[in-house]
Amino acid sequence: MANAAAPTAAVPTLAPPLEQIRHLAEELRLLIPGVRVGEALETTKEFNPDTFWRRLNEAAVNVSREATTLTEVFSHLPLPSPQETQRFCEQVRAAIKAMIAVYYSLPKNQGITLRKLVRSTTLDIVDDMAQLMDALFMTPTQSSENNDLISYNSVWTACQQVPQIPRDNKAAALSMLTKNVDFVKDAHEEMEQAVEECDPYCGLLNDTEDNSDNHGDEEDDGLGYPNNRDLYWSEEDQELIIPCLALVRASKACLKKIRISVAENGKKDQVAQLDDIVDISDEISPSVDDLALSIYPPMCHLTVRINSAKLVSVLKKALEITKASHVTPQPEDSWIPLLINAVDHCMNRIKELTQNELEL
């Protein structure tokens, strides 16, 4: 009679605590590509904004709490046991996946612009949590740097941004338009400052050279720094910069007027038109940057002309889309034709000053 006991199933060996933390960081990063391209979940339930925002806030609070707990237990010796670490990791994993699931529950019909803002915040939280895992894995527990984990890691800051997300697509559109106005404003101010100082690189490239080289026998070229012609504007360059600056000012004016129109006349339920306005407006700032970069010496006038034409095309498209939308209740409103005329005037002047480039 066989009395031998059946062999017990082997209990899987848990990885050491720090290895579990490292694996969790890798796992979290694998979630990021899916969030970037993931679509909203199909559902027959009617979307409830109040419920959505409540769930999103609760999910962010939970992520922050789990991050704090994990940081505290890994900031001193002894480290938690492998079993305890497994439990902590499972809680972090569940909190992050719950956050992502809430994002997926935001339907497209609430606005693409709004979804982008929620997605961006969600991605920040996931990525920051992965960075926190890296810090816990890489920083020795006996190091004083561990005391600063909470302060230098941005996961808590990212979670605190959730209540600040605009609550509807119109508010989201205004948020994005405001950022674009600020970007163009900054680019314009940098261009003006460089022109006013007649020093595109603010002298940074010349200080050490001027102090170390002998320039006693060299003649000043009229711009203050001999043998640095590639670093400064010629008279023709400076003449071309004038309409370029005017074109950037017109870009800033376009964005400001579009933002005002959305603020005053935009309707929350017209999500598609608001998304279209934001999409084309998002192209203005990069186009301004391209033009701004092309005016720095050594300046290629043909490149300036090409980049100006690209910016003009984007501006006109933005104005036409705005004119055709509900935010312009009176399409004959004078501000749109005036801005189009201003943009055309700048471009015509740029063409005049760069005509020789086309004939070479």
pLDDT at 145 (0 to 100)? 55
Same domain for 157 and 242, yes or no, is: no
Same domain for 21 and 144, yes or no, is: yes
Same domain for 101 and 161, yes or no, is: yes
| Domain assignment of residue 189, given as a range | 173-199+231-358
Q: Is residue 7 part of a domain?
A: no
pLDDT at 152 (0 to 100)? 47
Same domain for 115 and 184, yes or no, is: no
Q: Is residue 249 part of a domain?
A: yes
- What is the CATH number for 142? 1.20.1420.10
- What is the CATH number for 183? 1.20.1410.10
Same domain for 195 and 157, yes or no, is: no
Q: Is residue 74 part of a domain?
A: yes
Same domain for 159 and 269, yes or no, is: no
Same domain for 153 and 55, yes or no, is: yes
Which is more confident, 77 or 92?
A: 92
Q: Is residue 204 part of a domain?
A: no
pLDDT at 242 (0 to 100)? 96
Same domain for 72 and 49, yes or no, is: yes
Confidence check: pLDDT of 60 > 70: yes
pLDDT at 209 (0 to 100)? 47
pLDDT at 135 (0 to 100)? 86
Same domain for 192 and 148, yes or no, is: no
Same domain for 121 and 263, yes or no, is: no
Q: Is residue 226 part of a domain?
A: no
Q: Is residue 208 part of a domain?
A: no
Q: Is residue 205 part of a domain?
A: no
3-state secondary structure the chain: CCCCCCCCCCCCCCCCHHHHHHHHHHHHHHHHHHHHHCCCCCCCCCCCHHHHHHHHHHHHHHHHHHHHHHHHHCCCCCCCCHHHHHHHHHHHHHHHHHHHHHHHCCCHHHCHHHHHHHHHHHHHHHHHHHHHHHHHHHCCCCCHHHHHHHHHCCHHHHHHCHHHCCCCHHHHHHHHHHHHHHHHHHHHHHHHHHHHCCCCCCCCCCHHHHHHCCCCCCCCCCCCCCCCHHHCCCHHHHHHHHHHHHHHHHHHHHHHHHHHHHHHHCCCCCHHHHHHHHHHHCCHHHHHHHHHHHCCCCCCHHHHHHHHHHHHHHHHHHHHHHHHCCCCCCCCCCHHHHHHHHHHHHHHHHHHHHHHHHHC
Confidence check: pLDDT of 127 > 70: yes
Average pLDDT of the segment spanning 164-173: 98
Confidence check: pLDDT of 8 > 80: no
Tally the domains of the chain: 2
Q: Is residue 10 part of a domain?
A: no
pLDDT tens for each residue of 189-225: 999 998 887 666 554 444 444 444 544 444 444 444 4
Same domain for 21 and 159, yes or no, is: yes
Same domain for 244 and 152, yes or no, is: no
Average pLDDT of the segment spanning 303-329: 97
